[in-house]
């Protein structure tokens, strides 16, 4: 018996509503250890069901099972966010009290929205691609960056912020979100690329064009320079730089960076130590032809920055953030415009790399008829 791909995945994920409602009514789950054990059992049961019902041609790709189970947890996260914002009730109250209470913060709610909407749609799209034997490498790399960014900010933020004393055994349920993406990333990077096939002559012609003949690349380089400067500046801000500009910025434009939950501080440090070097490498890749690594990593960082900016901007404006740390209304437009442009830039870079990849392909002899898709 095989599980129809999309109907099966959607049906399994929507089962999160009755499952969470039933668990919420069990009095025994008022203990943190019981919640953690139940969470492990539910995940094991889900993997078993998906494996038994999905045996067949799809079983050749183990990521099918991962995406199907993760689609269930995405709906759980959507339920959490909707319940915490007051749209529904009676589903995950038990888990928020004794499981992961830090999900009640503005940042916790925003990452649940992102996981429940964006990641869920990505899971369904990749499940469709797997069942139709199509390449899903592009979607997978975007998902990988998005998920890893949420993990590297959320988990340290829990341990370093004011909720560090609220960590319960259910915190260990996040371990699969560390290990599985690492394994999935190795599989995704090993898949063949699905880039437009370019002739050798076109690659050579593209790589011989000067920067002034590539206005889009010039614009992207200017953006990356500005974004790198802004990233470094915000890193200095959260490191308590004593300059007047840093002081004015954190109190007048982004007071959320002072929130003791620690998520915004960790986010800016991740930007400074990981995204900033990528911006510099992106400039290098746009100046030097043949950087075959740039299209893949542009996708990864586009997904990472999208998730980070959505969560950061949403948390800065969310009512769960204490009023002194919320973005002042008089600077909303400056704050939103700056952060939206910051998120848009990596996506333009990824689009540039995928839409016209000749500049990033290795140079080939001019007489060659064409260049095969790279493995």
The Cα 23–Cα 50 span in angstroms is 21
| 17-49 per-position pLDDT tens digit | 787 777 777 655 567 787 888 888 888 888 887
pLDDT of residue 7 exceeding 90, the answer is no
Report pLDDT for 308: 97
Report pLDDT for 374: 44
Residue written as token pair 């341990």: 159
pLDDT of residue 289 exceeding 60, the answer is yes
The answer to whether 273 and 285 have CB atoms below 8 angstroms apart is no
- Phi and psi, residue 6, nearest 5°: -70, -50
Q: Give CA angle at 279 (239, 265), nearest 5°.
A: 25
| 196-223 per-position pLDDT tens digit | 666 777 788 888 888 888 899 999 999 9
Residue written as token pair 């960082």: 301
Return the closest-CA partner of residue 179 out of 280, 99, 70. Answer: 70
The mean of the pLDDT values for the chain is 87
The Cα 12–Cα 286 span in angstroms is 44
Calculate Rg over the CA atoms of the chain: 22
- List b or e across 63-87, with b for residues whose CB sees 16 or more CB atoms inside 10 angstroms: bbbbbbbbbbbbbbbbbbbbbbeee
CA distance from start to end of the chain: 34
Please indicate, yes or no, whether the overall pTM of this predicted structure exceeds 0.95.
no
Report pLDDT for 373: 44
pLDDT of residue 193 exceeding 90, the answer is no
Mean pLDDT, to the nearest integer, of 229-241?
A: 96
Report pLDDT for 56: 52
Report which DSSP code applies to 116: I
């Amino acid at each position: 018996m095989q599980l129809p791909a999309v109907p099966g995945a959607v049906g399994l994920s929507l089962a999160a509503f009755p499952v969470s409602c039933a668990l919420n009514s069990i009095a025994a789950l008022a203990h943190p250890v019981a919640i953690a054990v139940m969470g492990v059992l539910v995940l094991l049961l889900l993997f078993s069901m998906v494996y038994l019902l999905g045996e067949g041609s799809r079983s050749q790709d183990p990521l099918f099972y991962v995406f199907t189970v993760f689609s269930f947890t995405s709906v759980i996260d959507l339920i959490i966010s909707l319940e915490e914002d007051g749209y529904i009730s009676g589903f995950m109250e038990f888990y928020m009290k004794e499981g992961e209470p830090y999900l009640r913060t503005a940042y916790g709610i925003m990452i649940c929205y992102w996981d429940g909407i964006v990641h869920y749609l990505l899971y369904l799209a990749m499940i469709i691609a797997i069942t139709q034997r199509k390449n899903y490498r592009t979607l997978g790399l975007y998902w990988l960056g998005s998920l890893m960014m949420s993990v590297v900010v959320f988990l340290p933020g829990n341990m370093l912020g004011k909720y560090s004393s609220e960590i319960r055994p259910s915190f260990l349920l996040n371990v699969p979100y560390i290990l599985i993406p690492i394994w999935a990333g190795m599989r995704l990077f090993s898949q063949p690329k699905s880039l437009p096939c370019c002739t050798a002559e076109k690659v050579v012609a593209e790589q011989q064009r000067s920067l002034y003949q590539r206005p889009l690349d010039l614009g992207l380089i200017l953006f990356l320079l500005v974004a790198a400067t802004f990233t470094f500046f915000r890193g200095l801000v959260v490191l308590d730089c004593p300059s007047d500009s840093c002081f004015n910025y954190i109190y007048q434009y982004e007071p959320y960076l002072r929130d003791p939950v620690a998520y915004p501080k960790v986010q800016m440090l991740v930007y400074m130590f990981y995204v900033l070097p990528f911006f510099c490498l992106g400039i290098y890749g746009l100046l030097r032809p043949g950087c075959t690594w740039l299209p893949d990593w542009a996708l990864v960082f586009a997904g990472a920055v999208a998730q980070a900016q959505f969560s950061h901007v949403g948390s800065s404006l969310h009512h769960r953030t204490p009023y002194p740390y919320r973005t002042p209304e008089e600077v909303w437009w400056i704050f939103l415009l700056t952060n939206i442009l910051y998120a848009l830039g990596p996506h333009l870079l990824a689009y540039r790399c995928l839409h016209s990849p000749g500049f990033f392909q290795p140079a080939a002899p001019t007489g060659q008829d064409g260049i095969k898709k790279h493995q």
